[in-house]
Structure 1
Amino acid sequence: MTESSAAVPPSDEARLARAALMRAGESGDPLLGRLIEVCGPVEALAQIREGELTAEISRRLAHDRGRTLRDLQAKVTGWRTRLLAADPERDLLVGRERGARLVVPGDIEWPSQLDDLGAGRPTGLWVEGEADLRFSCLRSVAIVGARAATPYGVHVASEMGAELGQEGWTVVSGGAYGVDSAAHRGALTTEAPTVAVLACGTDYCYPSGHHDLFAVIRERGVLISESPPGAHPTRSRFLIRNRLIAALSRGTVVAEAAVRSGALNTVNHALALHRHIGAVPGPVTSESSAGCHALLRQGKAQCVTNAAEVLDLIGAIGADLAPEPKGTVIPLDSLSPEARAVLDAIPSRGPGAGPATIAVAAGIDIQTALSRLGALAAAGYVQHGRQGWRLRDRR
């Protein structure tokens, strides 16, 4: 029996089974995800607890994932061992006591774009916060970058987060030091929610210095994690959670990143999901922006310098176009071509020039020259003296 579509509300039994399976396997395990796809969470849990999959499902999974039956059985044994210490009822109770909810496929709050991850989609998500996760992510942008961000990177991320929030877009990031926290804080200066995707349980504050930041995010947005309560962060969990940052948002912006940066891992996930990528250029002498420059040079990202350009990249066609940047408009810009030619033909030094001389130098007839000279005089650009026309001193 194949798992029902995400549009069907999950039963309490299915929710409890998913809570148990989140303890059994590591986040993003595609084999476990495929097992749930094939037979549903309740049956998947039952077979793992038995310690052996049915022959039909074993052959199917081994064929799908290119594994031998022996390798598959070893995985099942590992899941079963971890289940022995799992207490899904307690996980749900602990979550409720601290205001966390387990959102699973089929729930109204489940962001359907996570289904793009296929077998790698989360088994469920622990969510803490006042905002609705699905609604918050309908119009969302991921901003990622270096933990050891420079003042430039922090400024860019903060400004972009605030500008996007002012336009009603949600900022998604990882809650880390540097670019992540700057983007969250920028978004929190607006009315828009922000989403922090953690690599540990939502009840575990990492980094510890973000206790106050996470408290505000709970009030104005959401903290989410596919790790169960009490789970500590690990290097692999940071890398695995990056796929959620990429999948939840319409596009990912790299505000600042070195060549070797975890942010580029998020970019790779976004590229695999066919999401838009933007990169903010930095000083060519800065190693902290070398990763952004590489993305631009390789054609993997488009150059973005502000929120308007980000929305032009990822927003709705025709609705979020960024205005073309223009220089400062000055009065001379409004002059006609003939008036410009006349103005250029008038000497800036020495005695003035007569209309005929000006007309010849401007390449126009005498009547047109006289007409343009009158208009330029009225506008204060030129003046007529005893020796002819000359430029007016406009200092």
Structure 2
Amino acid sequence: METTPGAGTPEDERTARVALMRMAEAGDAVMGRLIAWCGPRRALEQVRRGSLDSDFAAKEAEIADRSGRRSDLTRMVAAWAARYADPHADLATGREGGARLIVPGDSEWPTQLDDLGDARPFGLWADGRANLRFACLRSVAIVGARAATPYGVQVAAQLASELSARGWTVVSGGAYGIDAAAHRGALGGGSPTVATLACGVDQCYPRAHEDLFRVIRFQGVVVSEWPPGAHPTRPRFLVRNRVIAALSRGTVVVQAALRSGALNTATHAAGLNRHLMAVPGPITAETSEGCHMLIRSGKAVCVTSADEVIDLVGSLGDDLAPERRGPARPRDGLNDETLRVLEAVPARGGAGTAVIAVEAGVDLTTAIGCLGGLAAAGFVEPVDRGWRLRRQDDLRGRGDHGR
């Protein structure tokens, strides 16, 4: 919890967060601890004057010693200060573009992001009609390879569409491949979808997704930790993955190579004690090697349908996946004795009732009763030599039993 001795007005605190979001990179744990120590306004004041509270600096030195990492606070503070820009300009740019700022304590702030601890976002820029907090109350992240195969694209779109149709928000990263398929599938299902970007919400990356992002803003919301105008970098994609994992109740990896950003998101999900799931694929496909590794190591649960996903992330007892069965056949409703009699009836020629009774291991009276019921149901028919299977049962039913 933040302690804010001498804090200014809430608007001052919000403005300070805007400045800090540009000065420190998203996910900076030291800045996160500084804000928690003294509040965003005082944190900004200390950084701009170039020195931190001695007590805070001493605690950071202890953390660095325990972790075995060197921490040059002086250089860090100087780097932060050098990136200062007028926060009111960012706020104006955001408003002009239709974006809004969401910070901890706001009614729209998703409190599950607090699970990130020191790496919690300083704030989020959001652009879209959906309320971020409400949208993420029942949400699932679907992530995977940019170079997805047609199989992966189909699976991601189908999972997202079915989840969305059942009222679940799909969270992803807006990238090519699995991300785009997940967003498009979710849009078809009618529920919101959340695109978490590694650049400002006013930027379109990748460029080819301009139309996709426009529809997401209409039906869902686009969010980012970076200020308007910020461009994506490789590290930022990895940093934003923790937000994708934290926003959702669970993460589904549809396709991933052994080295991929999707596995980075999976690591964050596991670290946050979120459900981690993976979709199996062809054993010959490199794009599924990461999924198979997660399943084999026990880190992820194998899932193949939206029902199985909801079974894990849904409410206990209310969202259980139905047991999957093969197609129903007419003979499935027969009791054991009747089935044995049916199995004793020949497909060709015919057999007398006594012979069938012996073959089935039942008495003659039972065989007569069962044969009468089977004849009425269309399974068998009388012939000159006794009984035989009707042709449709001979062709469709016996194949199950190898006869």
Note whether the superposition's TM-score is higher than 0.5.
Answer: yes
**Counterparts of residues 146-295 of structure 1 (less than 5 Å):** 146-295=145-294
In 1, are the aligned partners of 2:199 and 2:231 still within 8 Å (CA)?
yes
The answer for unaligned runs of 5 or more in structure 2 is 396-403
Give 1:55 shift.
Answer: 1.4
Q: Secondary structure at the match of 1:264?
A: helix
Q: Which amino acid aligns with 2:162?
A: E
CA distance in 2, matches of 1:266, 1:15: 29
Matched, 1:389 2:377: no
TM-superposition CA deviations, 1:149-190 (whole Å, max 9, x none): 111111111111111110000000000010001100111112
Match of 1:341 in 2: 340
Q: Which amino acid aligns with 1:99?
A: G
CA distance in 2, matches of 1:141, 1:159: 14
TM-superposition CA deviations, 1:280-327 (whole Å, max 9, x none): 111111111111111111111111111111101111111111111101
Match of 2:55 in 1: 56
In 2, are the aligned partners of 1:153 and 1:256 still within 8 Å (CA)?
yes
Match of 1:79 in 2: 80
Matched, 1:379 2:380: no
Give 1:354 shift.
Answer: 2.1
CA distance in 1, matches of 2:184, 2:355: 64
TM-superposition CA deviations, 1:46-79 (whole Å, max 9, x none): 1111111121121122223438997122211211
CA distance in 2, matches of 1:270, 1:390: 60
Give 1:381 shift.
Answer: 1.8
Q: Secondary structure at the match of 1:367?
A: helix
CA distance in 2, matches of 1:59, 1:257: 42
In 2, are the aligned partners of 1:58 and 1:69 still within 8 Å (CA)?
no
Q: Which amino acid aligns with 2:355?
A: T
**CA distance 1:384–1:239, shift in 2 (3 Å):** same
Q: What is the TM-score of this pair, normalised by structure 1?
A: 0.95
Q: How many residues align?
A: 388
**Counterparts of residues 3-82 of structure 1 (less than 5 Å):** 3=3, 11-66=10-65, 71-82=72-83
CA distance in 2, matches of 1:50, 1:10: 21
Q: Which amino acid aligns with 1:39?
A: C
Q: Which amino acid aligns with 2:329?
A: I
Q: Which amino acid aligns with 1:361?
A: E
CA distance in 2, matches of 1:196, 1:3: 32
CA distance in 2, matches of 1:200, 1:174: 11
Q: Which amino acid aligns with 1:79?
A: W
In 2, are the aligned partners of 1:157 and 1:179 still within 8 Å (CA)?
yes
Q: Which amino acid aligns with 1:147?
A: R
CA distance in 2, matches of 1:37, 1:333: 63
Q: Secondary structure at the match of 1:327?
A: coil
Indicate the larger mover: 326-335 or 55-64. 55-64
Match of 2:367 in 1: 369
The answer for unaligned runs of 5 or more in structure 1 is none
In 1, are the aligned partners of 2:64 and 2:70 still within 8 Å (CA)?
no
Matched, 1:89 2:80: no
Match of 1:360 in 2: 358
In 2, are the aligned partners of 1:153 and 1:255 still within 8 Å (CA)?
yes
**CA distance 1:133–1:70, shift in 2 (3 Å):** closer
Indicate the larger mover: 336-345 or 32-41. 336-345
Give 1:119 shift.
Answer: 0.5
Indicate the larger mover: 157-166 or 67-76. 67-76
**CA distance 1:17–1:52, shift in 2 (3 Å):** same
Indicate the larger mover: 360-369 or 60-69. 60-69
Q: Secondary structure at the match of 1:189?
A: helix
In 2, are the aligned partners of 1:131 and 1:221 still within 8 Å (CA)?
yes
Q: Secondary structure at the match of 2:382?
A: strand
Give 1:81 shift.
Answer: 1.7
Q: What is the TM-score of this pair, normalised by structure 2?
A: 0.93
Give 1:135 shift.
Answer: 0.5
In 2, are the aligned partners of 1:126 and 1:227 still within 8 Å (CA)?
yes
Q: Which amino acid aligns with 1:64?
A: I
CA distance in 2, matches of 1:282, 1:219: 33
CA distance in 2, matches of 1:282, 1:68: 40
In 2, are the aligned partners of 1:35 and 1:61 still within 8 Å (CA)?
no
Give 1:10 shift.
Answer: 7.5
